[in-house]
Amino acid sequence: MEDRRWKMKVEINLMGDEKYQKLAAHLTKVHNLTIAYRVLSWDQQVNMPPAGDAARAAQLATVWRLRHELFTSDITARLLEEAAQEVEGAPFDSDEASLIRVARREYDAAVKQPAEFVARFTQAKGMATAVWAKARANNDFRAFQPTLEELIDLKIEEAQQLGYKEHPYDALLEQLEPGMTTAEVKAIFDGHQPQLTALIAAIGKQANNVSDAPVHQHFEIEKQREFGLSISKAFGFDYNRGRLDISVHPFEIQFSRDDVRLTTRYHEDFLNPALFGTLHETGHGLHAQGFGTSIEGTYLSDLDAGSGAIAESQSRMWENVVGRSRGFWKWAYPKLKDTFPAQLAKVDLEAFYRAVNTVRPRFIRVEADEATYNLHIILRFELELELLTGKLKVADLPAAWNARFEQFFGIVPPADKDGVLQDIHWSQGALAYFPSYALGNLLSAQFFNKAVQDVPSIPDDITRGKFDTLLNWATTNLYQHGRKFTVDELVRRVTDKPIQWQPYVAYLEAKFKEIFRSW
């Protein structure tokens, strides 16, 4: 009733000045430039010949600068104000109120950044990724160092422009997880780090109970691809509205709800990276394809600009909570065995389930197991904090990485390509992004628990290869909203609680106690 009255009021308003429609159309232009930027970036990572970097960096810089100029123009401020009056009283979760709320927040931040800085930063990023890729391939941190120094300086400059109360990190975090502070993230990390360390130590004593030899065999890449695609389709990803390619660093990118691109990378002698990588990106992809049709093409229809924690909660939920569960493999393993009969004939379901759930220190974050993963993030978070204040110099970063890695995991990366050079993020100027991964892990359990509470058949459905009950729940409760909500707004809306680490730790303990002790 409340909503109906509002609807009528807004409809009457829209028959008048239609300021809101003007705002939406204006912001759609901004959005379309964002997508143009994304297509150029996807192409750079998936298709572009190596020599194209310099020109592409300039193209990216132009597009992003014009996007910035368009977004920060006076017309945005004026339309935001006029539209806000027009749709006053619209419910918090309506398309109208959400569009204005999100755009207003981002406008207020964007106007603090000079267009000149935005272009300079974009150009630097555009060049940096290729430098990083080459440095990583050559295991040569020094080749990347000047570029990273420039990028860190730019991020410090950006934090100054945006402003912050306690720590420059707050300014960057606010862009990625609005409303969250560095102190809050630190409290969550400090809260569960001891639990993880204790769990890993307990598992360490039983590590010999489980062997991951089954996944370390020769697996033909074409068959890996076929199997990954088949699971991705079974989860519900629609390949008429998306595709899967290969890139050095796997990612998902959304050009529209009807054009969602996933990438992965294949290892001939290790099944996990492409298999779970594909499921991970599929999780993002389901999210992106599940956006509500009423927000398609609008400023809100942009998964990649929304909360990273919400996004990662879904990639991790499909990759891990579903994709590494015994129930899932009960259904999927016979199919995998059919795909790789020679390799898996003598491996039974239980042995395979345990093989994909081995827990041990690994150098590469994207290959980390569920129990150790958040420690990889906490390590990066702590280094980023020090880089931003200048406490840690880029020149000293490899040594600091290795020292902390040993402290966390008891081992030292044999080479920088397996350590400080492994991630693309810094080369893309994405500082303060890593915490979202850890928060996403926590949320994957928190959301899944709620899904099962609402739809108790979900665990059983998964054992039968029926994923639509979970997908429907997630679409209704999470995906359709696009990026209307901050992570705090969404998690409270859905679970009535703020982000909590307890459900995730409880999930890990239950799962791994069963795997490592009851054998």
Residues in contact with its own copies by the rule CB under 8 A: 28-29, 32-33, 35-37, 39-40, 42-43, 47-52, 54-56, 58-59, 61-63, 65-66, 70, 238-243, 245, 255-256, 258-259, 296-297
Q: Which is nearer to its own copies, 108 or 296 (CB)?
A: 296
Min CB(66)–its own copies separation in Å: 6
Q: Which is nearer to its own copies, 25 or 412 (CB)?
A: 25
Single-letter residue type at 255: F
DSSP-derived letter for residue 394 is G
Single-letter residue type at 222: E
Min CB(253)–its own copies separation in Å: 12
**Phi, psi dihedral angles at 246 (to 5 degrees):** -110, 135
* Cα 115 from Cα 110, distance rounded (Å): 9
Min CB(63)–its own copies separation in Å: 5
Q: Which is nearer to its own copies, 122 or 343 (CB)?
A: 122
Min CB(417)–its own copies separation in Å: 23
Instruction: Please name the helix (run of DSSP H) or strand (run of DSSP E) that holds residue 243, with its range, or none.
Output: strand 242-246
Which residues, 6+ apart, have CB-to-CB distance to 7 below 8 Å?
A: none
Q: Which is nearer to its own copies, 43 or 226 (CB)?
A: 43
How many CA atoms, within 13 angstroms, populate the side-chain half-sphere of residue 67?
21
* Cα 316 from Cα 441, distance rounded (Å): 6
Q: Which is nearer to its own copies, 69 or 140 (CB)?
A: 69
Which residues, 6+ apart, have CB-to-CB distance to 34 below 8 Å?
A: 67, 302, 305
Closest CA to 179 of 490, 480, 437: 490
Classify residue 293 by burial, with Cβ atoms within 10 Å: 0-12, 13-18, 19+.
exposed
Helices (H), 261-394: 272-289, 308-316, 326-339, 341-344, 349-355, 373-389
Q: Which is nearer to its own copies, 259 or 386 (CB)?
A: 259
253 three-state secondary structure? strand
Closest CA to 42 of 295, 304, 336: 304
440 three-state secondary structure? helix
* Cα 20 from Cα 16, distance rounded (Å): 10
DSSP helix, strand, coil percent of the chain (3-state; round to 5): 70, 5, 25
Q: Which is nearer to its own copies, 50 or 341 (CB)?
A: 50
Residue with tokens 């499909």: 318
Residue 261, strand partner residues: 243, 253
Min CB(34)–its own copies separation in Å: 9
* Cα 338 from Cα 317, distance rounded (Å): 26
Min CB(435)–its own copies separation in Å: 31
* Cα 453 from Cα 93, distance rounded (Å): 23
Min CB(123)–its own copies separation in Å: 11
Q: Which is nearer to its own copies, 166 or 296 (CB)?
A: 296
Single-letter residue type at 86: E
Closest CA to 519 of 358, 385, 348, 354: 354
Q: Which is nearer to its own copies, 32 or 428 (CB)?
A: 32
User: Is 281 a catalytic site residue?
Assistant: yes
Helices (H), 47-181: 53-71, 74-86, 95-110, 115-137, 141-162, 168-176
Q: Which is nearer to its own copies, 54 or 198 (CB)?
A: 54
Min CB(68)–its own copies separation in Å: 13
Q: Name the pairing type of β-strands 259-264 and 242-246.
A: parallel
Min CB(38)–its own copies separation in Å: 10
Residue 264, strand partner residues: 246
Min CB(402)–its own copies separation in Å: 35
158, 281, 319, 384: the catalytic one is: 281
Q: Which residues are catalytic?
A: 281
